[in-house]
Amino acid sequence: MNSIWTEKYRPMKLDEVYGQERIIERLKAYAEQGNIPHLLFAGPAGTGKTTSALALSKELYGDNWKHNFFELNASDERGIEVIRKKIKEYARTTTLSVEGFKVIFLDEADSLTSEAQAALRRTMEKYSSNCRFILSCNYSSKIIDPIQSRCAVFRFRYISKEGVTDWINHIAEGEELTITEDAINLLVQISEGDLRKATNLLQISASTTDSIDEEVVRQSANIAKPGDIEKMINTAMEGDFMESRGQLYDLFVDYGLSGNDIIRQIHKSIYNIPMDNERKMKLVDRIGEAEFRMVQGSNERIQLEALLAHISKDFAKR
């Protein structure tokens, strides 16, 4: 039995995927037809993109799915050349399935440069007679148009509050846990529609006790107390940039937070910090910019420091 719950509880069938009903309905229709176009799965992490690609393949090929499904991660492999070589090798071996095509799942396709995507597009065309590509990405806007137009695009959404609650109850039942309503609410709040996050946090919480309450979840979550983030912003607003920078580094080190976690918590916190509307709007705008740049791959610490510098400079003494 797999001990990592995200794998142990990964749905095997399309019908078992939570919270993506419209997408699943269409994927089931493809499975019934025994044919699929190239697919593009876009959406946030932990919402079922990989799971759906696997489940679709299992329903297409039955027990033989492993011979007809090939998974690559665009961000693992260095450059498009490696990807092309692997795809070529895989595509060249003929498929024994009645469907007549094999599936290539390319995860994190949006990590490829546009040149690499152009090459990928040619590869897709070259092998389209015996391969179908399923591309997965966080942002479809980062996928070049010629690829998007060759794919049926599916937009995965954050899982709703109800969906996450159902999922947590599903695992709690499987693991014979008792869990309080408050604990579930906190899990829902922290995981923000990301079922991988919810599952991992539930497993960490359950590692010390099988009777889980809010406090157990709080201790298991490496979340900064909202107060810590607010303190950092206040320090910057008082004009003490170096001190706020130190507090930022403590957040990275003490809580092991990623830049993305921090920027999201900053975004939530600023609504609790008293300041006039005009300032709030400017700050939200600046946060949005930093978040965008981080998503585009620029250095997280530099972006966050720049944000603090901006707050110290423009917000403090005006």
Ligand X SMILES: Nc1ncnc2c1ncn2[C@@H]1O[C@H](COP(=O)(O)OP(=O)(O)O)[C@@H](O)[C@H]1O
Cβ closest to ligand X, residue 7 vs residue 278: 7
Residue by residue, DSSP assigns 229-289 as HHHHHHHHHTT-HHHHHHHHHHHHHHH---HHHHHHHHHHHGGGS---HHHHHHHHHHHHH
**From ligand X, Mg ion, none, interface partner of 290 (C-beta below 5 to 8 A by class):** none
In whole angstroms, the minimum distance from the beta carbon of 5 to ligand X comes to 7
- Amino acid at the residue 41: F
Strand 178-179 and strand 69-73: pairing? Answer: unpaired
CA angle, residues 304, 292, 264, in degrees to nearest 5? 60
**From ligand X, Mg ion, none, interface partner of 196 (C-beta below 5 to 8 A by class):** ligand X
Cβ closest to ligand X, residue 46 vs residue 259: 46
- Based on the shown chain and the rule CB under 5 A, indicate whether residue 20 belongs to the binding site for Mg ion: no
Coil/strand/helix, residue 126: helix
CA angle, residues 19, 20, 22, in degrees to nearest 5? 130
Cβ closest to Mg ion, residue 50 vs residue 68: 50
- Based on the shown chain and the rule CB under 5 A, indicate whether residue 247 belongs to the binding site for Mg ion: no
- Based on the shown chain and the rule CB under 5 A, indicate whether residue 50 belongs to the binding site for Mg ion: yes
**From ligand X, Mg ion, none, interface partner of 9 (C-beta below 5 to 8 A by class):** ligand X
Residues in 30-49 that interact with ligand X by CB under 6 A = 45-49
Residues 153 and 139: beta-carbon distance below 8 Å: no
**From ligand X, Mg ion, none, interface partner of 20 (C-beta below 5 to 8 A by class):** ligand X
- Based on the shown chain and the rule CB under 6 A, indicate whether residue 203 belongs to the binding site for ligand X: no
Q: Which of 38, 40, 50, 263 binds ligand X (CB under 6 A)?
A: 50
Q: How far apart are CA 227 and CA 269, in angstroms?
A: 8
Q: Compute how many residues bind ligand X; rule: CB under 6 A.
A: 19
